Copies of this chain bind each other. A is one copy, B any other.
Amino acid sequence: MSGLRRSERIVRLTQTLLEQPYRLISLTDMAEKLNSAKSSLSEDLAIIREVLLKEGIGTLETQAGAAGGVRYIPGVPDQQVSDFLREMSRLLADPDRILPGGYLYVSDILGRPDVLDKAGRIFAHIFSMSGADYVLTVETKGIPLAVSAARYLHLPTVVVRRDHRVTEGSAVSINYVSGSRRIQTMSLSRRSLPERSRVLIIDDFMKAGGTAKAMCDLMKEFKAEVVGVGVFMSTSEPTNKMLEDYVALTVLSHVDEITREIRVEPGTFKISQKGEL
Chain A interface (Cβ < 8 Å from any Cβ of B) = 3-4, 6-8, 10-12, 14-15, 18-20, 23, 44, 47-48, 50-52, 55, 57, 99-101, 103-108, 111-114, 116-117, 139-141, 143-144, 147-148, 150-151, 153-159, 161, 166-169, 189, 191-192
Q: What residues of chain B lie closer than 8 Å to A44, measured between beta carbons?
A: 7
Cα–Cα, bound, A103→B166 (Å): 8
Which listed residue, B4, B19, B52, touches A18 by the CB 8 Å rule?
B19
Q: Known contacts being A3-B3, A6-B3, is A156 close to B112, with CB within 8 Å?
A: yes
* Cα of A139 to Cα of B112 in the assembled complex, Å: 17
A104 to B48, CA, bound (A): 43
Judging by beta carbons under 8 Å apart, are A166 and B55 in contact?
no
- Identify which of B105, B161, B168 contacts A167 (C-beta below 8 A): B105
Q: In the complex, which residue of chain B has the Cβ closest to the Cβ of A105?
A: B169
- Chain B residues in 8 Å Cβ range of A101: 166
Q: Which residues of B contact A12 (CB under 8 A)?
A: 51, 55
